[in-house]
Structure formats: C-alpha cells, structure tokens
Amino acid sequence: MSVDEELQEHSQEAREPFDRRVAATMAILAAALAVVSVLGHIMTTEELLNQQKASDQWSYYQAKSIRRYQSEVARDLFASMKMLEQAEQYKKNVEKYRSDDEEIQKEAQALERESHLAGRKALGFHFGEVFLEFSIVLASLAILTKKSFLWLASIASGLLGGAVAATVYAFPAMVEKLGWN
C-alpha cells in the first residue's frame, strides 16, 4: 500500500467520527424539534379553545343583556300603569341581570386573556421550531461539506431554539410581558 493510499484511508476514517457526531447531534435536534412542535400545537389548540369559550361567554352576556333590557321595559311599562307589584318584580330582575352581566363579562375577559397568552406561547414555540429546523439543515450541510463550523452553527442554532422554547415554557409571565400578537 502506498503512502498516498494509506493517507487517504486514514483521512476517510477520520471523517467517519465527524459524521457520527453530526448525525447524533441531528437526532437530538430532531427529538427536540418534535417536542417543541407538539407544545406549539398544544398551545395553538388551547388558544382556540379559550377564544371559543370567551366567545360563548360574550354570547351569554348578550343574551343576559337582552333579558335585562326586556325587564327594564316591562318594569317601566308596569310602573306607568301603576302596577307597582309587577314593576317591583321586574326591578329585581333588572338588578339580578345587571349583576350577572358583570360576572359574565369578567369571565369572558379572563378567557380572552388566557387565549392571548396561549397564542403568545404558541408563537414562541414556533420561533423555537424555526431555529431547530434551521439547525438540522446546518447539520445536514455539515455532513455533506465536512465543515465543522457548520456543525457548530447547527449546535448554536439548536441551543437558541431550545432556549426560546424553554423560556416560553418555564416563564409564562415573561411571555405575557412581551405582548407578541
């Protein structure tokens, strides 16, 4: 075996550990991507469910407001006809519907806030997904080109994507302050 052939063989063997390290990195990045992607989908679903619940509450609020208005009309009508007993009954209904309106409105607003928070979390997870997907592309390029700087860039991008997703998951108050919409 000539020296050139031997050097070529050793250089080929030296590349294989690189490929294995990059492939292992890609597997880890793909697993992280799967987790972040599922969390993003869960948050999107939660956002939609909370928005639907808020919408239902607003519909309920509107129905109660219509009943309150009808009771106000009936109260005024009975009062004008000097039927004070019936007017008093409708006055009590008006007060009850008014207090119900406030509670329903507060609940609807709370559900809207939860929906918006879940939406911001979902957006954060999606940003993490982008960085993780980009890191897999860089790792693929590193294997094809045998360039270690691409592998290191892949690791950096993956860490950034993981950090974004972990921050969204671990610190929801921070996400709320960001106000992503």
Model pLDDT for residues 100-153, shown as the tens digit of each residue: 888 999 999 999 999 999 998 999 999 999 999 999 999 999 999 999 999 999
Q: Which one, of 21, 9, 34, lies nearest residue 142 by Cα? A: 21
CB-side neighbour CA atoms (13 Å) of 49: 7
Dihedral sign from CA coordinates of 126, 131, 137, 143: negative
Distance separating the N- and C-terminal Cα atoms of the chain: 66
Task: Give the three-class secondary structure for 91.
Answer: helix
Query: What pTM was estimated for this model as a whole?
Result: 0.74
Q: Measure the CA–CA gap between 75 and 81, rounded to whole angstroms.
A: 10
Please state, for a pLDDT cut of 90, what percent of the chain lies above it. 55
**For residue 124, how far is the Cα from the chain centroid?**
7
Instruction: Look at residue 179 and tell me whether its pLDDT is greater than 70.
Output: no
Decide: 61 and 101 in contact? Cβ < 8 Å. yes
Please identify which residue in the block is written with the tokens 């302050």: 177
Decide: 72 and 98 in contact? Cβ < 8 Å. no
Residue at 142: amino acid letter: A
Q: Measure the CA–CA gap between 71 and 35, rounded to whole angstroms.
A: 54
- The reported pLDDT for the residue numbered 112 is 94
Q: Where does the pLDDT of residue 72 fall: very low under 50, low under 70, confident under 90, or very high at 90 and above?
A: confident
- The reported pLDDT for the residue numbered 92 is 84
* pLDDT per residue as tens digits for the range 80-102: 888 888 888 888 888 888 888 88
Chain mean pLDDT for the chain: 87
